[in-house]
Amino acid sequence: MARILGVGIATLDIVNSVAAYPPEDAEVRARVQRVGRGGNCANSLVVLSQLGHDCAWGGVLADEPDAARITDDLNSYGIDLGPVRHLAHGKVPTSYITLNQQNGSRTIVHYRDLPEYRYEDFQTIDLSRFGWLHFEGRNIADTARMLELARASRPLTPRSVEIEKPRPGIEQLFPLATVLLFSRDYVHAQASSDPGYFLHDMHRRAPQADLVLAWGEAGAWALSRSGQLMHSPAFPPPQIVDTLGAGDTFNAGIIDALVRRLALTEALEAACRLAGRKCGHTGLNFVGQYA
């Protein structure tokens, strides 16, 4: 087990479950509504803490009532909020999510108007406490400086970076990570659709990193820093009920497996198994539950 620091966002998620995905301009009734905490980094930490890791979160919170939903939830998993930057004004990022009960698909409309976590905030954290550092690929200039600081001061501590969206300049993070966690959306945004081809291309830019690419119901691919390409199928549950946070769960599965010193090929399969189980449960509180 490790002490893991995650830097990224936590959100308020308003999730409406519908019988079928509505056409544009329709008016439909949600069958169920749940309101809770989300956010890629926070989701991954919540899963990692259920796997027994000691987690801390570095992100931004606004001083407003919805922030309590986020802090209450993270506290309930024992996640250390010491590195959080608190702002007197603003609104926590909010996602309006439509969950299709037919196939578990999630469609997200995200609203955000909150400053990002800064290098100055990160600089105050004692990195020697942590055995793994995980970052969302956002706020690129500051995140690059965080990664450089981590690399210089704790060269042996692994640094995973999630590359989910094609943000301007995000490639400058590639050489600074030891593990890069790509999404299918990112690959498509590069006008690519071939996982193997994409990963070999990325390997040229980040030869120092293990590269991982989740691909929904087709499982996931990885390319080790030594150049070995591998694939794991997905492990669908008996019924797919909720794919929200499947990618964040998958990332947690990779980090957990690599902390436990599994080989990359084993980590890939373990992460697909974990994310598959998640798809059979509503929400992220599933790890201790019977599969």
Cα(85)–Cα(7) distance, integer angstroms: 11
Least distance between ligand ADP and beta carbon 233 (Å): 8
Q: What residues contact 194, with CB distance under 8 A and at least 6 apart?
A: none
**Position among 6, 38, 158, 280 found at the interface with ligand FRU (CB under 6 A):** 38
Name which of ligand FRU, ligand ADP, none residue 39 binds, using a CB cut-off of 5 to 8 Å depending on partner kind.
ligand FRU
Token couple for 17: 């479950």
Pick the stretch among 25-33, 35-43, 73-81, 257-265 that binds ligand FRU (CB under 6 A): 35-43
Q: According to the binding rule CB under 6 A, does residue 11 interact with ligand FRU?
A: yes
Closest approach of ligand ADP to the CB of residue 286, in Å: 13
Residue from 39, 83, 195, 276 touching ligand FRU (CB under 6 A): that is: 39
**Closer residue to ligand ADP in complex, CB, 71/224:** 224
Helices (H), 128-279: 140-153, 184-189, 195-205, 246-259, 264-279
Note whether 243 binds ligand FRU by CB under 6 A: no
Q: Does 95 bind ligand FRU (CB under 6 A)?
A: yes
Q: Binding to ligand FRU by residue 162, rule CB under 6 A? A: no
Residues listed for the chain: 291
Q: Which does 81 bind (CB under 5 to 8 A by kind): ligand FRU, ligand ADP, none?
A: none
> Which residue number has the CB closest to ligand FRU?
38
Minimum CB distance to ligand ADP smaller for 150 or for 234? 234
Which among ligand FRU, ligand ADP, none contacts residue 184 (Cβ within 5 to 8 A by kind)? ligand ADP
Could you give the angle at the alpha carbon of 265 between the alpha carbons of 284 and 228, nearest 5°? 135
DSSP state of 117: P
Determine, following the binding rule CB under 6 A, whether residue 248 of this chain makes contact with ligand FRU.
yes
Q: How far apart are CA 51 and CA 78, in angstroms?
A: 12
- Residue pair 75/81 in contact by the 8 Å Cβ criterion: yes
Distance CA 215, CA 233 (A): 9
Using the minimum distance from each CB to ligand ADP, give the nearer residue, 203 or 277: 277
**Nearest to ligand FRU of 45, 270 (CB atom):** 45
Strand intervals (E) in the chain: 3-7, 11-18, 32-38, 54-58, 60-62, 85-87, 94-100, 106-111, 132-136, 159-163, 179-182, 210-214, 220-223, 229-232
Interface residue with ligand FRU, options 13, 136, 242, 256 (CB under 6 A): 13
* Sole window of 72-80, 205-213, 239-247, 257-265 interacting with ligand FRU (rule: CB under 6 A): 239-247
User: Helix or strand or coil: residue 91?
Assistant: coil
Distance of CA 66 to the CA centre of its chain: 21
| Sites of contact with ligand ADP (CB under 6 A) | 183-184, 214-217, 219-220, 234, 236, 240, 243, 246-247, 250, 272, 275-276, 279
Q: Which residue is nearest to ligand ADP (CB)?
A: 247
Give the C-alpha separation, 257 to 183, whole Å: 19
Cα end-to-end distance, the chain, whole Å: 22
Interface contacts to ligand FRU, rule CB under 6 A: 11, 13, 38-40, 43, 95, 108, 110, 244-245, 247-248
